[in-house]
Every structure is written in structure tokens, then in C-alpha cells.
């Protein structure tokens, strides 16, 4: 309430990944558990029409949602994280370079 976060409140776990995709859930938003700073929600992989090289083809898509505690993680930083993660998922070889 007073916008103060103590070091003791930030100890331990900092990031959680929640996966309901294995149950066929396409998208959801998780609630951050303290003392976490963020939680990533992973949805199911589904086949959808996508445009690739100017052609409509069947592609695999997956929705990721992230909630951030804005006392410790700025929303823009969270968005940059998701953009980087998207790049790695779409092109995993870049993790080795």
C-alpha cells in the first residue's frame, strides 16, 4: 500500500513458469505469487493458418502471457523479455550463437 518493497520480500524465487498448454488451454493469465517478480503463462500449441514467404500455410502457434510486478520489473522490460523469448522459440539455433 505504501509502495515499499523490502529486500526480505524479494528473497527466494523470482520467476515462475505456469503451463496449462498440456491440458489444451490456449491462453490464460497467471497471478504472481510473492516473492516472484514475474510469471510466464504458456498455452497450448495449435495449428493455424499463417503467412510464410507470401503463402498461407498451416503453422504451429503458441500464446505466451507474462504478468510482472511493476515494483521490480518495468512493463517495457517484460515486453523486451517476451520479444527475445519469441525469437528464441521461433529460431532456436540463435541460442547457440
Q: What is the mean pLDDT of residues 8-16?
A: 78
What's the whole-number mean pLDDT along residues 42-66? 96
* Residue 54, phi-psi category: left (phi > 0), alpha (psi -120 to 50), beta (remainder): left
Q: Where are the domains of the chain?
A: 9-96
Q: Find all residues with CB under 8 Å of 42, minimum gap 6, and list them.
A: 17, 18, 19, 20, 21, 62, 64
Domain at 9-96, CATH homologous superfamily: Chloramphenicol acetyltransferase-like domain (3.30.559.10)
pLDDT tens, residue by residue, 73-94: 989 999 999 999 999 999 999 9
Catalytic residue from among 52, 70, 71, 86: 70
- Separation CA 86–CA 37 (nearest Å): 20
Q: Confirm whether 70 is a catalytic residue.
A: yes
Q: Considering the chain, what percentage of its residues have pLDDT values greater than 70?
A: 96
Beta-ladder partners of 58: 49
Q: How many Cα atoms within 13 Å fall on the side-chain side of residue 71?
A: 15
Amino acid at each position: 500500500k505504501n509502495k515499499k518493497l523490502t529486500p526480505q520480500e524479494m528473497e527466494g524465487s523470482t520467476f515462475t513458469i505456469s503451463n496449462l498448454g498440456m491440458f489444451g488451454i490456449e491462453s490464460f493469465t497467471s497471478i504472481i505469487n510473492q516473492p516472484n517478480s514475474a510469471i510466464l503463462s504458456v498455452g497450448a500449441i495449435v495449428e493455424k493458418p499463417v503467412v510464410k514467404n507470401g503463402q498461407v500455410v498451416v503453422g504451429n502457434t503458441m500464446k505466451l502471457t507474462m504478468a510482472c510486478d511493476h515494483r521490480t520489473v518495468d512493463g517495457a522490460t517484460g515486453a523486451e523479455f517476451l520479444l527475445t523469448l519469441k525469437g528464441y522459440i521461433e529460431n532456436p539455433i540463435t541460442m547457440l550463437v
